[in-house]
A and B are shown apart, each in its own frame.
Chain A
Amino acid sequence: MKKMNLEEIQELIKFVAKSGATEVDLEMEGVKISIKSPPKKKRGEKDDPTTIIQHAAPHTIPSQVINSQIPLAETANIESGNTNENSQNKNPDAEKDENKYITIKSSMIGTFYRSPSPEKPSFVNIGDNIKKGDTICIIEAMKLFNEIESEVEGKVIKVLVDDSNPVEFEQDLFLIDPS
């Protein structure tokens, strides 16, 4: 990849801001860029204090394009950002990776909750490594609360349902990378 000019860096910042990602680390041709922005930005706040740090990195570091472990904000509107990330990721195994993911499905009809109660943090977030037996969500049906523990272990790639939304029997809930 060729060296980025200022304009391209600005484009990149815009892309990151739009995608909802809160942190991106980039290393190439001896240049390391890391972009950090506060999460949950409101629409239209383009002049947010998105910070950019650019400094020299040791030449020995391989020119890997974008760190694939970008922590993404867990909102549905980052779906496009996510695909984009994959396309830039020039990883020939990318498609194969998708197939390796495990989908956790709902075993019942009800309302999907990501936290034990409204003011508490989510059981799991994107990027978390979950173990067998970890509680991943609650599905409520007729005021009866079903706490669901994971049968699988791996990394949470996607949460496919928003908090407090209804789910159907067999509906996909989580995408897990078991590797």
Chain B
Amino acid sequence: MNLDFKQNIISLDTLESTNDYAKYLIKNNQIKMNTIIVCNKQTRGRGQRNRVWESVKGKNLLASFIFDKPLIDDNFLINIVSSLSLVDMLSELCINDISIKWPNDILVNNRKIAGILIENIFFGNNIKSTIVGFGINVNQIYFPDYMPKATSILLEEKNITPQQLLDHFIPLFEKRYFQAITGVDLLSQYYNLLYAKDKRIKMKINEVILDVVIVGVSKEGKLILDINGKFSEYLNSEIKYLCF
């Protein structure tokens, strides 16, 4: 069984965002198989709800994987698959100190190296397509002031082009996807890689700053925090990291 992403790669110079272009193709019924959209430069690269993802042309890997007929409709599981495959890729490059900043950033030595933006399209209650967008800092070495805690593969002293990195990444991503659909326990692996796990940190929770310890992630993807000995689950909209 193969997801065949390698067979259908659409490579473009400039796009507003690879995820938006992916959505456009889906809406116009132009996606007949699993497809990768990749570009050199995004003019409107997005984080969530329009937080800009800054990227210098040609320096980074900007790719969206479109699942034509997704086999996973569990929102959090696809996030775990995506996060773990990025960690695998960085590990293969012998980069250390990798962690996952819940819910969708990958850090190296507590600096952001990659981000994930997942979008599903549902027809009523049934999943129709999944778009997994990756932004990976590869050869960018300067970051704007508002991204103080960023790093790149080059800054971690590894040399690779975005194209080589994509070739590297595809089988790792497909492997994790298969593990998920065959029921391998990925949640515990994800949890073991969590940023600030088991450490006392300050977080803003519903607008109040508190001392918390990240103690886990629920199956639905909520962050489990220990606040003064009491465990509670939180949505990403309820909490804010203070160190980023």
Contact B235 A147, beta carbon cutoff 8 Å: no
Q: Is B122's CB under 8 angstroms from A142's CB? A: no
Is B228 interfacial (CB-CB < 8 Å)? no
With A108-B75, A145-B119, A146-B75 already in contact, 17 other A-B pairs whose C-beta atoms are closer than 8 Å: A117-B49, A117-B50, A118-B50, A141-B75, A142-B103, A142-B236, A144-B78, A144-B79, A144-B103, A144-B118, A144-B119, A145-B118, A146-B120, A147-B119, A147-B121, A148-B122, A151-B124
Is A33 an interface residue when CB atoms closer than 8 A count as contact? Answer: no
Q: Is B123 an interface residue (CB 8 A)?
A: yes
Q: Number of contacting residues on B, CB 8 A?
A: 26
- Is there a chain B Cβ closer than 8 Å to A149's Cβ? yes
A contact residues around B220 at 8 Å (CB): 109, 142
Instruction: Give the total of A residues in contact with B, Cβ under 8 Å.
Output: 21
**Most B Cβ at <10 Å: residue of A109, A145, A149, A151:** A145
Assembly CA distance A75 to B103 (angstroms) = 33
A148 to B75, CA, bound (A): 14
Segment 124-179 of A: residues with Cβ below 8 Å from B: 133, 140-151
Q: Determine the residue in chain A with the shortest Cβ distance to B50.
A: A117
In the bound complex, residues from chain A placing their C-beta under 8 Å from that of B75 are 108, 141-142, 144, 146
Q: Using Cβ atoms and an 8 Å threshold, which residues of chain B touch A119?
A: 50
> Which one of A118, A142, A149 contacts B235 once the chains associate, using CB atoms below 8 Å?
A142
Q: Complex formed: what's the CA distance from A119 to B44 in Å? A: 14
**Known A144-B120, A146-B119, A151-B124; contact A111-B78, beta-carbon cutoff 8 A:** no
Contact status A149-B121, CB under 8 Å: yes
CB distance from B114 to the nearest CB of A (A): 14
When chains A and B are docked, how far (Å) is the Cα of A113 from the Cα of B50? 13
CA distance A119 to B50 in the complex (A): 9
A–B Cβ pairs within 8 angstroms, 14 of them: A107-B124, A141-B75, A142-B235, A143-B236, A144-B103, A144-B118, A144-B119, A145-B117, A145-B118, A145-B119, A146-B120, A147-B119, A147-B121, A151-B124
- Bound together, the chains give a CA A144 to CA B74 distance in angstroms of 11
B151-183 toward A: CB 8 Å interface, digit per residue (1/0)? 000000000000000000000000000000000
The verdict on B189 contacting chain A, using a C-beta distance below 8 Å, is no
In the complex, the answer to whether A107 meets B122 with C-beta atoms within 8 Å is yes
Whether B119 lies near A111 (C-beta < 8 A) is: no
Say yes or no: A142 contacts B124, CB within 8 Å: no
